[in-house]
């Protein structure tokens, strides 16, 4: 979709983190925004930030893990805007802890939020996109989907699933006018654990910004790029090394403190839970 001005985009997870930044970059391109998350008040704050861009934006609070809520969301958007042209699967959750400390419900909720909800949303909008011969689905994954880290195993599993799912549906949709992309940010400053705990990423991985992630979303849509890794430094050599020998890559990450970073965060989270 080289020309996205005037398109209708649904941005999930639009109330905090990367979501509001993606919405603003889409608005700069002249895209009308349907914004969803659970909390209306936070959504309205993002909507207010889009006022200078001379586009139409509206909040649609919804629980994406609930089937009825997903159906109602898409019906309400269609009634207000018309068919969706761009789906940004951005909503997600992360919790750093030992895998055995996660309850079955926590595991199910993370899988439902991070992987099943975006896959089912896409399943619901693809037929209309194919019918109009125009559309793009962008799904937010993570470098965690490229290499699972200790204390973040469930999160990594969901993000890895999104990468391969995107690859599959992209090939199914080839020639239909509809396409799919996946964005894999590394550690993002001012978002996620950085915002909550004021953390700095390990030096070997470095960190990127919410603006660069949002720019990658626009580039993926306009240039129809299958996958974009958003992270500075040595990431590409590390990805290639992992493909050659995952064991050596694990040693590198352990040696340079990445696994220790996650372990300390898990310990902090566990301590917080015990004091509640």
Indicate the helix (H) or strand (E) that contains 184.
Answer: strand 178-185
- pLDDT digits 0-9 by tens, 244-272: 999 999 999 999 999 998 999 899 888 87
**Confidence (pTM):** 0.93
Told to judge if 151 belongs to the known catalytic residues of this protein, a careful annotator would answer: no
Instruction: Give pLDDT tens digits for 95-129.
Output: 999 999 999 999 999 999 999 999 999 999 999 99
Beta bridge partners of 36: 12
Question: What pLDDT is attached to residue 244?
Answer: 93
Candidates 99, 151, 155, 262; catalytic one: 155
The burial of 263, by beta-carbon neighbours within 10 Å (0-12 exposed, 13-18 middle, 19 or more buried), is given as middle
Question: Can you list the domains of the chain with their CATH numbers?
Answer: 8-275 (3.40.50.720)
Half-sphere exposure of 143 (CA within 13 A, CB side): 22
**For the purposes of burial, counting CB atoms within 10 Å of the CB of 219, is it exposed (0-12), middle (13-18) or buried (19 or more)?**
middle
């Amino acid at each position: 979709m080289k020309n996205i001005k005037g398109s209708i985009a649904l941005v999930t997870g639009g109330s905090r983190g990367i979501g509001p930044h993606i919405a603003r970059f889409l608005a700069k391109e002249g895209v009308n925004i349907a914004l969803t998350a659970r909390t209306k008040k936070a959504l309205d704050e993002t909507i207010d930030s889009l006022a200078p861009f001379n586009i139409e934006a509206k909040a649609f609070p919804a629980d994406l893990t609930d089937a009825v809520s997903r159906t109602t969301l898409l019906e309400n958007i269609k009634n207000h805007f018309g068919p969706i042209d761009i789906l940004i699967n951005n909503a997600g959750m992360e919790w750093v802890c030992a895998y055995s400390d996660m309850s079955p419900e926590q595991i199910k909720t993370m899988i439902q939020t991070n992987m099943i909800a975006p896959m089912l949303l896409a399943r619901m909008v693809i037929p209309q996109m194919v019918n109009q011969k125009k559309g793009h689905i962008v799904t937010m994954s993570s470098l965690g989907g490229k290499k699972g880290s200790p204390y973040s195993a469930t999160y990594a599993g969901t993000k890895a699933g999104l990468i391969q799912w995107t690859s599959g549906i992209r090939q199914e949709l080839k020639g239909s006018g509809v396409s799919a992309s996946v964005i894999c940010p590394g550690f993002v400053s001012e978002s996620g654990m950085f915002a909550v705990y004021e953390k700095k990423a390990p030096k070997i991985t470095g960190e990127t910004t919410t603006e660069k992630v949002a720019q990658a979303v626009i580039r993926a849509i306009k240039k129809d790029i299958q996958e974009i890794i958003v992270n500075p430094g040595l990431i590409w050599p590390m990805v290639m090394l992992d493909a050659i020998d995952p064991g050596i890559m694990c040693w590198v990450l352990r040696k340079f403190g990445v696994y220790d970073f996650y372990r300390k965060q898990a310990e902090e989270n566990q301590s917080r839970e015990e004091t509640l």
